[in-house]
Every structure is written in C-alpha cells, then in structure tokens.
Amino acid sequence: MDFEYVLRVLVWTGVGSVLLFVLLYVDSLFTKYKDFEEVKAGNMAVTSRMMMKLLAQGYILSVSISTSNVLLEAIVVSIISFLVLLVLESIVRVGLRVWAKLDLDLGTQQGKLGYGLFGGMLHVVGALIITACL
C-alpha cells in the first residue's frame, strides 16, 4: 500500500461522506415532516427510517465506487441511483396509500415504529435492486 492509494481512499471516503449527507438532506425535503427535528425529539420510527435510508445510500455508494475507476463516475452513478430510488419509493408509497390505506409518512411521524421500518425497508430493497443493475 503506497501513499497514492491511501490518499485515494481518504479522498473517496471524504467525498462519499459529503455525498451521503447531501443525499440524506435532499431526501428529507421529500417527507411531510422534518426528519432531523423528529430525530432530535426522539422519534424512533423516524430515526429507524432515516438510518435505513442511510444504509441504502451507503450501499449504493459502495457498489458504485467498487465498480468505478473514476470518482466522478461513482458520484454520478450514485446520484442517478438516488433519483431512481426516490422515484421508486414515491410510487410505492402512493400505491400503499391508495391500495392499502397505509400512509407511511403519517404513521412514521406519529412514532409508529412499524411504519418507519416499512418505509426504511423500501429504501433498502430499492438499493439492492438498483445495485444489482450496476
């Protein structure tokens, strides 16, 4: 392991961490409640959902990094994957609201852990499907 390799790991990790934070923030803009405020208030449903979203995005980023030779390519693939995941999750949430009368956002905001886990699992499953295509 040489210095260039260590430097590459540090740069890719730093950029990946910033990207994960930005993606989490952008995703929080699409919920009907304030994610970070709910986490600070101790809402375990929101916290669980947010952690599963972080896991899903981290997994997508890890696969995009491992399949890319260029940092910019990995970032672009991660952003596109995030957008696909956001659309996919939105479609499923609307479908659940219409078909099963299940409002994941409302239940999660109310602190119902099952709703938060369900919503978070949509991200994880979506990430597994998306990364299978990378």
d(CA 130, CA 109): 27
d(CA 55, CA 71): 20
pLDDT digits (tens, 9 = 90+) for 82-130: 999 999 999 999 999 999 999 999 999 999 999 999 999 999 999 999 9
d(CA 125, CA 122): 5
pTM greater than the 0.75 cutoff: yes
Mean pLDDT of the chain, nearest integer: 92
pLDDT digits (tens, 9 = 90+) for 54-68: 999 999 999 998 998
Residues near 104 by Cβ (< 8 Å), separated by ≥ 6?
Answer: 93, 96, 97, 115, 118, 119, 122
